[in-house]
């Protein structure tokens, strides 16, 4: 009897694809192009499972039109805002994600963005590359010091805690807002705030690590930017939907914010071309988890969930 068929719509790591092909009959998109709604619906009739990334959107409309053959969506991501979970559950489709394994890699990118935005990395890099660095003085390229500053974190889950751990190495004072207070063992001396507004008021640097939900869409808007200290820096490595990009640019234009570091945008891919005019905005193309170690771990975690499902067990990361 043939085994389950798995559709892999994006080019995952070589180690992941090798393991997948050893265990399943795989349909792999070697060209690594994006898949639209019609593709998702068409392929649901050809596969028992799919390992999508956040670029494949299983909306309520798509879920309603999926073929009954598709039984599990084993996401190659932690965030699942690209999946309408109630609609998929109503169709009897199991959905999993890949928590834990990308926390350190994403926290590293958050640290890179924070340092880059604080120390004017974009402006300095352009100056050197263009051959325009022809002077120096004590007032030249003066930025914002990270060491010893107050860091606000919104969302103290796995990634938020990993980032806090790295920030402590810079002697930063950690403040955080979370849906619930952490245990003392997880808090490690960080100061808990029971409102977002409270943590914003003390955030010389602010880093976003919460999921994108209807409640958090546009979380950072004009009103909330106004509540931050003058000259603050904001970093977002979570989801672009958390930030009102027009309000962010207004806060940068007014000088309310000294800079921003962004690894995600409302529109992806492409991002927001308007940010290119801002030398105090350090941007990256959503590469928070882009290390060999982490991409292998994400792929293997997705396959672990598939293995459990097809053995008749409950996957470890079922949502």
Domain residues of the chain, as ranges?
5-101+292-310, 103-283
Residue 140, pLDDT above cutoff 90 = yes
Q: Is 82 tagged catalytic?
A: no
What pLDDT is attached to residue 3?
Answer: 83
Residue 1, pLDDT above cutoff 60 = no
The predicted model gives 120-149 an average pLDDT of 97
Q: Is 268 tagged catalytic?
A: yes
Instruction: Check if 5-101+292-310 and 103-283 are the same fold.
Output: yes
What pLDDT is attached to residue 143?
Answer: 97
Residue 159, pLDDT above cutoff 80 = yes
Q: Is 150 tagged catalytic?
A: no
Question: Top-level CATH class of 103-283?
Answer: alpha beta
Which residue is catalytic, options 119, 175, 286, 295?
Answer: 286
User: Please, which contacts does 246-255 make with residues 24 or more away whose CB atoms are closer than 8 Å?
Assistant: 247/220, 247/221, 247/222, 248/220, 249/274, 249/275, 249/278, 250/222, 250/225, 251/222, 251/225, 251/226, 252/278, 252/280, 252/281, 255/230, 255/231
Phi-psi region of 155 (alpha: psi -120 to 50; beta: other; left: phi over 0): left
5-101+292-310 belongs to which homologous superfamily?
NAD(P)-binding Rossmann-like Domain (3.40.50.720)
The predicted model gives 172-191 an average pLDDT of 97
Residue 12, pLDDT above cutoff 50 = yes
What pLDDT is attached to residue 304?
Answer: 98
Which residue is catalytic, options 123, 165, 187, 268?
Answer: 268
Range list of H helices, the chain: 14-23, 37-43, 60-65, 85-90, 103-118, 121-129, 158-168, 184-187, 196-200, 222-226, 245-254, 292-310
Average pLDDT, the chain: 96
Q: Label residue 33 by pLDDT band (50, 70, 90).
A: confident
Residues 6+ apart with CB under 8 A from 285: 263, 269, 271
Which residue is catalytic, options 239, 245, 295, 301?
Answer: 239
Residue 150, pLDDT above cutoff 90 = yes
% residues pLDDT > 90 (the chain):
96
Residue 34, pLDDT above cutoff 90 = no
Q: In this predicted model, what pLDDT tens digit does every residue of 232-256 receive, in sequence order? A: 999 999 999 999 999 999 999 999 9
% residues pLDDT > 70 (the chain):
99
């Amino acid at each position: 009897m043939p085994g389950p068929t798995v559709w892999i719509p994006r080019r995952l790591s070589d180690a992941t694809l090798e393991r997948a092909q050893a265990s399943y009959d795989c349909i792999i998109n070697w060209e690594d192009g994006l898949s639209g709604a019609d593709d998702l619906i068409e392929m649901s009739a050809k596969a028992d499972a799919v390992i999508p990334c956040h670029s494949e959107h299983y909306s309520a409309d798509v879920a309603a039109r999926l073929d009954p053959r598709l039984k599990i969506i084993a996401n190659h991501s932690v965030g699942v805002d690209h999946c309408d979970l109630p609609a998929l559950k109503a169709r009897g489709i199991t959905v999993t994600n890949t928590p834990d394994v990308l926390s350190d890699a994403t926290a590293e990118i958050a640290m890179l963005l924070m340092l880059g935005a604080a120390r004017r990395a974009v402006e300095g890099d352009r100056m050197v590359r263009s051959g325009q660095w022809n002077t120096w003085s004590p007032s030249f390229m003066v930025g914002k010091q990270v060491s010893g500053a107050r860091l606000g974190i919104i969302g103290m889950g796995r990634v938020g805690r990993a980032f806090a751990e790295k920030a402590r190495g810079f002697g930063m004072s950690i403040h955080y807002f979370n849906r619930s207070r952490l245990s003392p063992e997880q808090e490690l001396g960080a100061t808990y705030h029971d409102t977002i507004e409270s943590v914003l008021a003390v955030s010389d640097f602010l880093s976003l690590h919460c999921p994108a939900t209807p409640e958090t869409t546009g979380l950072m808007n004009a009103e909330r930017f106004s509540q931050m200290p003058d000259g603050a820096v904001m970093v977002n490595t979570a989801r672009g939907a958390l930030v009102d990009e027009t309000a962010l640019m207004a806060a940068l234009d007014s000088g309310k914010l000294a800079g921003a570091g962004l690894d995600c945008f409302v529109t992806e891919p492409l991002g927001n071309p308007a940010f290119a005019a801002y030398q105090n905005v350090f941007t990256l193309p959503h590469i928070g988890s882009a290390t060999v170690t982490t991409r292998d771990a994400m792929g293997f975690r997705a396959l672990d969930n598939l293995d459990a499902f097809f053995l008749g067990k409950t996957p470890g990361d079922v949502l």
